[in-house]
Amino acid sequence: MSFLNPLLLWAGAAVAVPIIIHLLNRRKFQKVVWAAMRFVKVSMEQNRRRMEIEDMILLALRCLLLLLLALALARPAMRSSTSDLFGQSKVTAVIVLDNSASMGVSDGLQQRFDKGRKAAEQVLDTLPTGSAAAVFLASDGVNAAIPEPTHDLNLARKVIRDAPLSDRATDLFAAIEKAHETLRGRTSLGKEVYVITDGQQSAWRQLGDIQKLLAKAKDARGDQSVQTRVVLVGEPEERNLGVTDLRVTGGLTPVNRPLRFEARVTNHGKHEATGVRVTLQVNAEPPGDDVVIPNIPAGESRAVSLFARLRTEGFHSITARIPDDRFAADNRRTLSVRALREVRVLLVDGNPGAEPRDAETFFLAHALVPVVPEEAEGYFIKPAIIPVADLAEQRLDDFDAVVLANVPEFPASLVTTFEQYLRRGGGLLIFPGAKVNVAFYNDQLHKRSNILPATLGEPRGDATQEDQFITLQSKGYDHPIVTIWNDPGSGQLNSARFFRAFELQLPPTTSEPAGKREGEKSRSPAIPLSQAPTNPVPDAGVSKVILRYSDHSPAAVERPWGLGRVILFSSTATTTWNDLPVRPAFVPLLHRTLASVVQRQDEGLNLRVGQGFARRMAAEWLGKDAVILSPAHSGGARELRKIELAGGLPMLQYDITDRAGVYEISIAEPPAVLKFATQPDPVESDLTEVTPDELRALGESARVIRWNPTLSLREMVEKERLGSEYWLPVALLAMLLAGLETFLAQYFSRSK
Amino acid sequence: MDKAHIDALLDPVAISRAESLGLHARLLVEGYMAGEHKSPYRGFAIEFAQHREYSHGDDLRHLDWKVLGRTDRYYIKQYEQETNYVAHILLDGSESMKYGSGRLTKLGYGKMIAACLSYVILHQRDAVALDIFDTVTREYLPRSNSHSMIHKTMATLAGFQPQHQTNIAEVLHDMARQIRRKGIVIIISDLFDDEQKILDGIQHLRFGGNEVIVFHTLDPFELEFPFTGLVEFEGLEAIPKLLTRPQEIRKSYLRELEGFRTRVREGCEKNHCHYVPVNTGHALHEVLAGYLAFRLKTTTR
C-alpha cells in the first residue's frame, strides 16, 4: 500500500485527543453529598467491569475513527490487477501524438494521422472521471499543444481533432522525455503516457535511451510510477518512392540560362520501381522538363538532371515531382532559387606578366566566362581585371566577388575596406602564388582581421618539375561546392596535378563539413521547434575545408566572414604550380566557388522543415511589415512579421515552418517578393517499421498495442490499469464508526 | 430555640387531620388511667368482655349465675377496661438524616412527624417519651402526658443537630430493655444500617409486648436516583467518595434500594409492625393522615 498524501498520516496523532479528553473529563464532575452510599457502592461494584469495558470500547472507537480519518486524508492506494469495487482512481495522462510527415501515409481511405487522432480520442475516452490529460504533438521536436494536464477533456479532444500534420521528421525521444517530465512530481496514483505513432523505425533511433527512461518510470515506486503505452497505428507500407534531394548543380543561377538541377529519387519500398517520371516545375508554371527513370531497385536511389530557365531576376521556386503514391508528402521537393541578372567579379592580378596568357587572372577570366567571345558580352558573369595598384581606388561594393590572384600584398588600410566589404556580404577568393607576401597575409589578413580561413605555411613541392605532384581527393566530396563530384558523371577532380602548393594551417576551431568524414552516414539532427536563428552575425566564422589533397592536407578552405565568405586556395589559379586550370573541372569548380560566395545569403533560402528562416534585409525595409504565405498545399495560411533590428542588422525572421514547400514573403513598400523553401528530411521517406526485436525490447518497459478501428482500447486499458485509491472506503468506514460510536455512547449512557 | 422554629415543626393541616383520626392503640396496651385504649388487664372491669370455663380456685364473685341456670355449666365473666398508653418516639438523628434534596432534610421531616405525632398523642392524654439517637441516645425526654410535654418535645426536636453515624439496632435493644410498660414504639429513621440487626431490635421490642411503627423516611432523590453526568458522591457517614456515572448504575441502585426496603418491610410485617414508607417529597399531612386512617380502619376494638 502506498499513500498519495503521506504527510497527512501525521494527522493520526490526533488519536491522542480523545484520550486526553477522556482524561480531562474525569476531572470535571458534579459533587453530591449523599447518605445512601452503600447502595451506590454496591451498584458501582456490580457494574464496574461492564462500565470499564464500555469506556474502553468507546475510547477505542474514537481513536480508530481518528486514525481512519487520517488514513483517508493520506489517500491510501494499492495496486491490484483486479478491478476495484469502488471504481478506478483518476489518471493523469500525457498523449504524445506523432504528427511527423510519415503519419501522412494513406491506406487509400485514411491517413495514419487520422487513425492516430481516433486512437488519441479513444485514449481520452478510457480515462476515468476526474482524470486530466496533456497533449503533445511529436515529430523531431515537441509541440506542447496542451502543456499541462487539464481536466477539460473536451478541450483535449478539440486540440486533437484540430491538430495539424507536419512535414517534419520523427524522433520520439524528446517528446517521451518531456511527457515523463510533465508527470514527474504530480500527485496521482495513475500516471500514464500514450505514444501514438506509426511505428516508423527512424522515430525510435534513440531506442536505448527511450527504453531506459520508460523502465525507470515503470519501476518507480508509488505515485512516481508511470505506465507507458505505445499505440501503433497504420499498416506497413511496402512501396514508397520519394524525391530525397534536389539541388542546383551549376552553382550560380543566372536568368535566362539553362540551369541544371539534380533530383534524386529513392525507392524505399521492397519492390523495384519502374518508369518513374520526374518533372520539374518553375513557380506555378506548367511542369517543364521531365525525365523518366527506367527503374530504381528496392532500397536504391537514382539521380536525374533536369533543366529549367528562370526568366526574371529574383526569387523562384523549383519543384521536382514524381507521381503520387500513398505517401504523397515526399513525392515533391521544392527549392527556392534567386536568379541573378549578372555577377560582377573583380579580378586583382598580382602578376600580370608580359603576355596575357601569363597573367595570374588569365585562366580565371576565361573560366568565369566560358563562352565564345561573341557571347562574352551577354554572359552574366562580368569580370573586371585590375592590377594591385588600382585596388585602392575600387569600390568593392560594385562587385559581387573579389578574386586576389597571386597578389603580393596591399596597403593595410585596404584590410579594413575588405572587412567592411565582407561584412556587407561580399565574397573574396584568394589564389596564392610565388609572389605572395606570406607574412602580410598571415599577419594582416589572418592574425589581425581573421579574414583568412587558414594561415599560409611553407610551400611544398617543386613547380619546376612535373614528375612529382599530388592530386586532389578522389572521393568523399562533402562540401556543397564539390559534392557534384561524388557523381562520376560530373567528371574527376583528382585528375589535376599539383606540383607546388602552400601548406594551409587551419585554426583550432576548424570544422569538417557537416561533421562528416568519407564514408560516414549523414544523419539529420533534431531541430528544435520554433527556434529563431541567433541574431548576431559574427564577423569571423568557423573555417571549413572544401577540398583536400589525396594526402588529406587541405587544398581549399573557406570561412564565413560577416555576411560574406572568404575562400582560400593553396595553389595558383594558373598553370604555374598546377594544371587544374586546364582541367575540365576548373570551370565548374570556379563557378561553384563563385556561387558559394555570391549567393551565400541565398543558402538561407532553403531550409530543413522546422528550421527558422532569417534573412538580412536592406536598410530601407527596416520596420516594415512582411506577409508570409505558407505553402499552398498546407492551406496557405498568412502570417505577419515585422523587419526588425537583430544583431544591429535589419532582419526578417520566421519560424512556423512545419510544412514543406515554398513560402512567399511579400513586402508592400518598397514592394518586394521573396521566396524561401523548406525540404523534408529524406530520412522520413524511409517507412521501414521497427523490427520485431525492437518491438519486443520496447515491450519490456512499455505496453505496445497495435491499433485498429475495431480494437476496444478502453477495455484493454481498463483491464490493465493498475491500482485504486482507497480513501473512499476508508472514509465510509470512518463514518460507520462515527455512527456506531454515537449509538453506543447513547446506549451505554442509558439508565441501567 | 425560638418560637418560629418550634412552630415550624407543627404542620397545621397535618395536626388537624391527625387529630381527627387520632392515634389509637392497635394492640392491647397496659395503662393506668381510664381512657380510650383497651387495657389487657382483666382483673377488674367495667365492661363484660367474655366467658371462660370455671377452674378450681376462681373467684366465685365473677361466676355467671345466669349461664349456670340456663346450662348447668360453670363460667366465669371476664371484663375489659379502657386505659392510656405511652408512645416512645425514636427519632434517628444520625448524619445520614441530614440529607435532603429539597426544602426539608430527612431529619427535618422526621422532626415534623415526631412533633405532630407527639401533639396528637398528648392531646389524646396519652403519654409521649422522646428519644433522639444516633449511635446512642443523644436527647431523651421521659414519658409524660402533661401539657408542658409538648413544648419540651418541640424545643428538644428543634434544637437537635446531627453529628454522628448510626447504630439503630443498639438503640432499639436498649429501648427494649428499658421499657417496663408495654406501649407503642414509633421509629422515625432512614434505617441506613444493618437491616437484620434493626429487625432484631424491632423483634426485641415486640417480644416486650410493644407495638412498633416504623416510619421509613427517605428523600425523593434517594428513592429515584435521578442524577446524570459524572458525579462524585461524598458520603455523610463512613463510606468515602465515589465517582461514577449515576445513570449507568441507576437500575442497580434502585434494585438494591428496593430490595432493602422490601426486606425491612417484610421483616416488620413478620413482627406484626406497621411499616410506613415516607417520601419526604410528599406533604406531611398526606403521609400522616394516610397512615392514621389506615390504622384506624385496621385496628380492632
Cα separation, A199 vs A623, in Å, equals: 46
Task: For B240, name the nearest residue in chain A, comparing CA atoms only.
Answer: A37
If one counts every other C-beta atom within 10 angstroms of the C-beta of residue A8, the result is 16
**How high is the pLDDT of residue B20?**
66
Shortest distance, CA B247 to any CA of chain A (angstroms): 4
Task: For B166, name the nearest residue in chain A, comparing CA atoms only.
Answer: A35
Q: Can you read off the three cell numbers belonging to residue A381? A: 558573369
A29, A47, A748: residue with CB nearest B231: A29
Q: Please give the full DSSP string across B140-181, using - where no structure is assigned.
A: EEEEE-STHHHHHHHHHHHH----S---HHHHHHHHHHH--S
Provide, as residue numbers in chain A, all residues whose Cβ is less than 8 Å from the Cβ of B245.
51, 749
Average pLDDT, chain B: 82
Contacts of A379 (CB under 8 A, 6+ apart): A369, A371
Whether B249 and A748 lie within 8 Å, measured CB to CB? no
Name residues 46-65 of chain A within 8 A of B (Cβ): 46-47, 51, 54
Q: What pTM, to 2 d.p., does this model score?
A: 0.61
Whether B227 and A47 lie within 8 Å, measured CB to CB? no
- CA distance to A243, A289, A307, per residue, from A280 (Å): 11, 5, 8
Cα separation, B96 vs B84, in Å, equals: 34
Whether B236 and A43 lie within 8 Å, measured CB to CB? no
Provide, as residue numbers in chain A, all residues whose Cβ is less than 8 Å from the Cβ of B257.
36, 39
Asked if the C-beta of A78 comes within 8 angstroms of chain B's C-beta atoms, the answer is: no
Provide, as residue numbers in chain A, all residues whose Cβ is less than 8 Å from the Cβ of B222.
35-36
- CA distance to A64, B221, B227, B242, per residue, from B249 (Å): 27, 14, 10, 12
Whether B243 and A29 lie within 8 Å, measured CB to CB? yes
- CA distance to A58, B17, B229, per residue, from A18 (Å): 10, 60, 18
**How high is the pLDDT of residue A79?**
57
Whether B242 and A37 lie within 8 Å, measured CB to CB? yes
DSSP for residue A109: S
Provide, as residue numbers in chain B, all residues whose Cβ is less than 8 Å from the Cβ of A37.
233, 235-239, 242
Shortest distance, CA A742 to any CA of chain B (angstroms): 16
Provide, as residue numbers in chain B, all residues whose Cβ is less than 8 Å from the Cβ of A38.
192, 239
The tens digit of pLDDT for each residue in A273-322 reads 999 999 999 998 898 899 999 999 999 999 999 999 999 999 999 999 99
Whether A33 and B234 lie within 8 Å, measured CB to CB? yes
**How high is the pLDDT of residue B151?**
84
A29, A33, A46: residue with CB nearest B230: A29
A32, A38, A43: residue with CB nearest B252: A43
Q: Region of A609 please: left (phi>0), alpha (psi -120 to 50) or beta.
A: beta
Indicate if the pLDDT at residue B15 is higher than 80.
no
Q: Count Cβ–Cβ pairs < 8 Å, chain A vs chain B.
A: 107
Q: What strands lie across the sheet with A649-654, from one edge to the other?
A: A613-616, A649-654, A644-646
pLDDT band at B159 (very low <50, low <70, confident <90, very high): confident
Whether B245 and A38 lie within 8 Å, measured CB to CB? no
The one-letter code for the residue type at B75 is: Y
Task: For A31, name the nearest residue in chain B, comparing CA atoms only.
Answer: B232
The tens digit of pLDDT for each residue in B136-156 reads 889 899 888 887 888 888 888
Top mean-pLDDT range of A573-582, B56-65, B239-248: A573-582
Q: Can you read off the three cell numbers belonging to residue B285? A: 399531612
**How high is the pLDDT of residue B2?**
60
Cα separation, A405 vs A428, in Å, equals: 11
Asked if the C-beta of A28 comes within 8 angstroms of chain B's C-beta atoms, the answer is: yes
Cα separation, A144 vs B197, in Å, equals: 99
**How high is the pLDDT of residue B35?**
41
**How high is the pLDDT of residue A165?**
94
**How high is the pLDDT of residue A517?**
38
Contact A245/A263 with Cβ under 8 angstroms?
yes
Cα separation, A734 vs B9, in Å, equals: 63
Asked if the C-beta of A748 comes within 8 angstroms of chain B's C-beta atoms, the answer is: yes
**How high is the pLDDT of residue A188?**
74
The one-letter code for the residue type at B5 is: H
**A144 exposed, middle or buried (CB, 10 Å; 0-12, 13-18, 19+)?**
middle
A28, A34, A51: residue with CB nearest B234: A34
Whether A34 and B236 lie within 8 Å, measured CB to CB? yes
Task: For A51, name the nearest residue in chain B, comparing CA atoms only.
Answer: B248
Asked if the C-beta of A40 comes within 8 angstroms of chain B's C-beta atoms, the answer is: yes
Asked if the C-beta of A420 comes within 8 angstroms of chain B's C-beta atoms, the answer is: no
Whether A42 and B252 lie within 8 Å, measured CB to CB? yes
Whether A34 and B243 lie within 8 Å, measured CB to CB? no
pLDDT band at B24 (very low <50, low <70, confident <90, very high): low
CA atoms within 13 A on the CB side of A38: 13
**How high is the pLDDT of residue B32?**
35
Cα separation, B207 vs A282, in Å, equals: 148
Looking at this predicted complex, what is its ipTM?
Answer: 0.79
Compute the average pLDDT of residues B28-43: 42
Whether A30 and B230 lie within 8 Å, measured CB to CB? yes
Whether B232 and A750 lie within 8 Å, measured CB to CB? no
The tens digit of pLDDT for each residue in B192-226 reads 999 999 999 999 999 988 899 999 999 999 999 99
Provide, as residue numbers in chain A, all residues whose Cβ is less than 8 Å from the Cβ of B246.
40
Q: Can you read off the three cell numbers belonging to residue A505? A: 594551417
Cα separation, A400 vs A115, in Å, equals: 53
Contact A481/A544 with Cβ under 8 angstroms?
no
Q: What angle do CA B161, B162, B168 make, to 5 degrees?
A: 135
Question: Beta-strand (E) ranges in A570-648?
Answer: 606-608, 613-616, 625-629, 638-642, 644-646
Cα separation, A540 vs A552, in Å, equals: 24
Provide, as residue numbers in chain B, all residues whose Cβ is less than 8 Å from the Cβ of A47.
248-249, 252
Contact A193/A94 with Cβ under 8 angstroms?
yes
Q: Can you read off the three cell numbers belonging to residue B301? A: 376494638
Indicate if the pLDDT at residue B171 is higher than 80.
yes
Shortest distance, CA A29 to any CA of chain B (angstroms): 5
Least confident of A177-186, A426-435, B43-52, B105-114: B43-52
**How high is the pLDDT of residue B33?**
36
The backbone torsions φ and ψ at residue B177, rounded to the nearest 5 degrees and listed phi first, read -70, -35
Residues of chain A with pLDDT under 70: 1-6, 22, 25-27, 77-88, 509-538, 719, 721-725, 751-752
> B178: closest CA among B152, B205, B138, B206?
B205
Strand partners, A150: A133
